[in-house]
Amino acid sequence: MHIDLKKEIKESGPGKTGLFILLLMVAMALLAPVIAPYNPYQQSTASLLPPSLSHWLGTNHVGQDIWSRLVFGARTSLLVGFGVGILSTLLGTIFGVSAALVGGFYEKVLMRIVDAFIVIPMVIVVILISAYIRPSILTLILLLSLLSWQGGARIMRAQALSLKERGNVTAAKSFGASRFYIAWRHVVPDLGPILLVDFIYGVRRAVFMEAGLAFLGISDPTVVSWGMMMRDALSFSYLNVWQWWLVPTGVALSLTIIGLTFVGHAAEPVIEPRLRGVEIA
């Protein structure tokens, strides 16, 4: 497993492109108040204006500045994405590594639950729950994390199973190290690259889901999001406003997901080393 993740991403064309796109989006989200000329929630009578110097992407049906909403929408998308990415990777590591190290009945029960969650279609579960609770951003992050750590846990467990047979673990055990110490000092650090791949795919899933829920109209209606903007734009598809309303929003969302896909794919040899040596542009 001695594959250098940084090198792997740097040597891949799409990997670099993906990283660049992601950094751009993150910068947009962080600097939103600086970049956006208007308050994204402020309504005005100037509705459905075409693009102009004062409104780069025109205004929407209630007179909000579309460019400002687009910029602030990046915050929602990335907040949910990174929030879920971090939490679900954390949960996956805790359950995956503990299953491998504790073993026995605990491992059996845990892995059956993990398998069960993998066959359940997550999107429809999230839609059902959201239909009832109309989640806020924080609830959505928790909900998506709870439903999406299972895939990672499986990979982490497999990896931890092989790591725990290594010499350094045996040595630590013979010195009387506790399971927790072994997990923390000897197993988790060696999971490094896998954690990152799991994290990236977690982020991607969450960005997708958040946009989808907002598009269906079951997300927090008080927070601007790309999915919600596309939903609004869809009802005006008979006008030419899609050119500056729908398309830029959809492109921003797609670019974010493409960026994540590229980085994830470039890093994938970490999980499947046999793919290495295949130059993928």
Residue 3 sits in the site that holds other proteins (CB under 8 A): no
Q: Contact region for other proteins (CB under 8 A) — 26-34, 64-72, 78-86, 238-246? A: 238-246
Tell which one of 1, 3, 125, 138 touches other proteins (CB under 8 A). 125
Q: Contact region for other proteins (CB under 8 A) — 50-58, 84-92, 169-177, 251-259? A: 251-259
- Tokens 């046999």 — which residue? 274
Q: How far is the CB of 27 from other proteins (least distance, A)?
A: 19
Total site size for other proteins, rule CB under 8 A: 54
State whether the Cα torsion 122-123-129-133 is positive or negative: positive
Alpha carbon distance 33, 10 (integer Å)? 31
Q: How far is the CB of 132 from other proteins (least distance, A)?
A: 5
113 vs 171 by CB, closer to other proteins: 113
Cβ neighbours around 191 below 10 Å, total: 22
Which candidate, 162, 151, 150, places its Cα nearest to that of 191?
Answer: 162
Residue 218 sits in the site that holds other proteins (CB under 8 A): yes
Residue 53 sits in the site that holds other proteins (CB under 8 A): no
Residue 235 sits in the site that holds other proteins (CB under 8 A): no
Q: How far is the CB of 262 from other proteins (least distance, A)?
A: 6
Alpha carbon distance 231, 252 (integer Å)? 15
Tell which one of 1, 27, 102, 113 touches other proteins (CB under 8 A). 113
Tell which one of 208, 219, 228, 248 touches other proteins (CB under 8 A). 208
Residue 237 sits in the site that holds other proteins (CB under 8 A): yes
Binding mask 149-188 for other proteins (x = CB under 8 A): ----------------------------------------
Residue 212 sits in the site that holds other proteins (CB under 8 A): yes
Task: Point out which residues bind other proteins (CB under 8 A).
Answer: 13-14, 112-113, 115-121, 123-125, 127-129, 131-133, 208, 211-212, 215-218, 230, 233-234, 237-238, 242, 246-247, 250, 253-262, 265, 272, 274-275, 278-281
